[in-house]
Chains A and B, each alone.
Chain A
Amino acid sequence: MNDAGAVVDELAERIRAAAAARTPLEIRGGGTKAFYGNPPAGEPFPTTGLAGAVAYEPSELVVTVRAGTPLAELEALLASRDQMLAFEPPHFGAGATVGGCVAAGLAGPRRASAGFAYGGVRDFVLGAKLLDGRGRTLSFGGTVMKNVAGYDVSRALAGSLGVLGVILEVSLKVLPRPPVETTLVFEFDEATALARACAWGARPLPISATAWHDGCLRLRLSGAPAAVGAARRVLGGEAISTPADASYWRQLREQQLPFFAGATALWRVAVPPTAPPLEFGDATLIEWGGAQRWVRTAAPAERVRERVARLGGHATLFRAQDRSSGAFTPLAPALLAIHRRLKAEFDPAGVLNPGRLYAEF
């Protein structure tokens, strides 16, 4: 594509100039996730000029799209062929782009699944083109399901928040939409909900999402009618009607449920699913079979992180007025050293989203 080529050349030129002048750049898609990570800084560097699908082969379960493509547009394209992004990414606003979605690496409720069928963003990245801090276009992975030539850099871009380079284009594995979805509701306290979610997860049931809050566990089942029907009979619980359940999971994904309103800091806690109820915070919402927990608390960051570390997990300050304590759990020194060396290799002048992931690079 000549147009796209010209846009990339322009972006590369800008990066080289910024590197020479040591001017930090803030890579920006729709700006819907500016709240996430450490506060962005630098001259805005929009990716919205890189729009559109490059290739879509429904029978290959692969789509290749430019980074500035609106996420909603991609989802509509897939829906037209009865396919979907299996990681059910949150948009957090109308302008969300595919590049931002991959760079933020956030997955929605469907991440809960016991089998491989669904998973995190990185599980579905097959390839990517990256514009690095030297203005070079690098091409990792491809459009095939299995590829072990070279290091798997494209998966590592999921959640990289732009610190290694500007994602130009990604190839994603997509999945057929499940023919049937049903939501079951159970009245459980937190401990019971956690125990049940774990026990059910160990059985071959088509669970595609779980959520517990305010004394209720919701369980979404997805799959062939026979599988969903059989699971319903095994699980019991009360089914809620289809339109209501679809909007519930969307509101959960977009953090529009009442739980997410209010000014108290919102923490994302990732723990082994078997971790006991967290004994801190004003309120908790539990997803992913117990592995992702949203907590509202004004407690100091070190205290939250220390308690979560003891459970074998990590805590991200997801939404807060004050992000001065760092959005992400600090890295062990040996890991930080590797991160710094990676940053120095891919972005020697340190101009791409500096500090967005960690203040140190």
Chain B
Amino acid sequence: MATAHDGRTAGHDSRRELLDGLRALLGAARVLVEPEDTRPYECDGLTLFRQLPMAVVLPESEGEIVAIVALCRRLQVPVVPRGAGTGLSGGALPRGDGVLLSTAKLDRLLALDPLARTATVQPGVRNLAISEAAAAHGLLYAPDPSSQVACTIGGNVAENSGGVHCLKYGLTVHNVLRVRGVTMDGEIVELGGHAPDAPGLDLLALAIGSEGMLLVVTEVTVRLVPVPQFARCIVASFPDVESAGNAVAALIAAGLVPAGLEMLDRAAARLVEPHAKAGYDLDAAAVLLCESDGTPVEVEEEIARMSAVLREAGATRLQVSRDEAERQRFWAGRKNAFPAAGRAAPAYYCMDGTIPRRHLGAMLKSIQALEAKYDLRVPNVFHAGDGNLHPLILFDDADPDSVRRAEALGDEILAECVRLGGTVTGEHGVGVEKLDAACAQFDADTLDAFRSIKRAFDPTGLLNPGKAIPTLHRCAELGRLRVSGGVPPFPDLPRF
């Protein structure tokens, strides 16, 4: 059954038919075709990959999405959904033979129920806008990606985004109750619901993190949680990266679940300090940010326990936020890491592997060795509590050799993550960027099962084709397919 959509090019006539059809549905103003209009959509946050779409459409309702999907299905044109375009793996990368469907005009908050503690929003609503609306009721939407001022809830659902507070409060998948959307065969489906669960298989779990390949999300109901009464943050300095890594494991082993637990190595701390003025110890090999939230008494008790564990683990200095302004300043440093990397080099490449926490120190050591090997700087910021790494590889995108070295270095980091029992992506998605890396993580049967899921939701294969799940051919070409049980999978498959 050949369903994967591969490089079908719309002929001149069908292109005309498509554009006429889209204009009839939306009016000319919401169908962008000229390169100067579609240029802003040519890439997402991963600027290494660029492609102009055949057209960009800006629907204003679910009904319009159903009609767009029906037209594209009839003409066999791929559809790529897009939120704010802050994705870091090329998930919203357009196709030259496809339509880019932007949710920019679907940005209304539909309902907020403070008693049920839920908010129902359109997919183009920004992450932070939900918490801003909920603040009046003492509630917030917990997952807080650093991009939260810009990224949309539709994008968060597609990537299963996390934030610095997800150790205690969970990822997108733990905080979304219901997703409504349109499948490529034009059906409106509701996954999950306002009740704590829904009948049948948990399709909501499959949809979250599906990188826009299973359905176009048209509505999301999220769970809101009470705003913690009080919070304090410790910044702990460590003389070497291993002891910082071990401190993370020690905190968890002591039964503590910090509200946030993040790490910056010296290079990262020095990168952010001039701009964020966070007050980090710039002589430390690594600093850990460790937050406690709750009632004031609870926080005092927890901060004392955390401090003891951190000291025991070898922290040479502890700064505990004295007031809310200082706490915000501590976090501003961490949240400014990406922009600071952007200022420090012509380009940076953000990696996103996850490893078991106990290997953090060793992993940092390996990255230091790779810096030397490839002659590139790699400051590190980690969602340490979750073992999620964001090494920022600084390089020069105008220099092909520098680009090549950056990619090779990144590949080595991801391979190490898989070797340590982790994953090639913790929260940014596979997109187009990590298709090769995914070959190394999954065996052929499991990749085939992923394609089964894609087919079950999208028999047409037209929704965001070519992302997230590598083809067996691609993996075979790379010679990277994970070998299970000593037998290379598909030994007969031709390798080009």
Contact = CB atoms under 8 A, between A and B. Distances in A.
A60 interface: yes
Interface residues of A, number: 87
A58 B174 contact: no
A313 B193 contact: yes
A5 to B, nearest CB: 8
Residue from A115, A149, A155 whose CB has the most chain B CB atoms within 10 Å: A149
Contacts of B225: 114-116
A329 interface: yes
Given A148-B429, A226-B297, A342-B452, A202 B358 contact: no
Contacts of A150: 430, 438, 441-442, 446-447, 450, 468-469
B138 A202 contact: yes
Given A120-B196, A145-B388, A147-B423, A175 B257 contact: yes
A190 interface: no
Contact of B189 (A142, A329, A335): A335
Interface residues of B, number: 103
A227 B297 CA distance: 7
B200 A60 contact: no
Given A159-B197, A164-B201, A116 B170 contact: yes
B450 A151 contact: yes
A303 interface: no
Interface stretch (B74-82, B262-270, B453-461): B453-461
A314 B442 contact: no
Interface in A140-181: 140, 142-153, 155-156, 158-160, 163-164, 175-177, 179
B195 A313 contact: yes
B102 interface: no
Contacts of A202: 114-115, 117, 137-139, 226
A99 to B, nearest CB: 16
Contacts of A177: 255
A314 B198 contact: yes
B376 interface: no
Contacts of B227: 204
A48 B227 CA distance: 45
B29 to A, nearest CB: 32
A203 B228 CA distance: 9
A149 B442 CA distance: 9
Contacts of A274: 113, 115-116
Given A114-B225, A138-B446, A152-B160, A334 B189 contact: yes
A337 to B, nearest CB: 8
A60 B423 contact: no
B423 A339 contact: no
Contacts of A59: 249-250, 252-253, 357-358
B206 A60 contact: no
B169 interface: yes
Contacts of A114: 117, 225-226
Interface in B230-258: 249-250, 252-253, 255-257
B193 to A, nearest CB: 7
A143 B455 contact: no
Contacts of A22: none
A204 B200 contact: no
B411 interface: no
B194 A272 contact: yes
Residue from A57, A139, A144 whose CB has the most chain B CB atoms within 10 Å: A144
A281 interface: no
A265 to B, nearest CB: 17
Interface of A: 57-62, 82, 105, 111, 114-117, 119-120, 122-123, 132, 136-140, 142-153, 155-156, 158-160, 163-164, 175-177, 179, 198-199, 201-204, 223-227, 229-230, 270-274, 288, 291-292, 312-314, 316, 328-332, 334-335, 337-339, 341-342, 345-346, 357-358
Closest 5 CB pairs of A and B: A345-B452, A176-B255, A116-B170, A146-B426, A334-B187
5 contacts: A122-B205, A144-B423, A146-B426, A202-B114, A223-B298
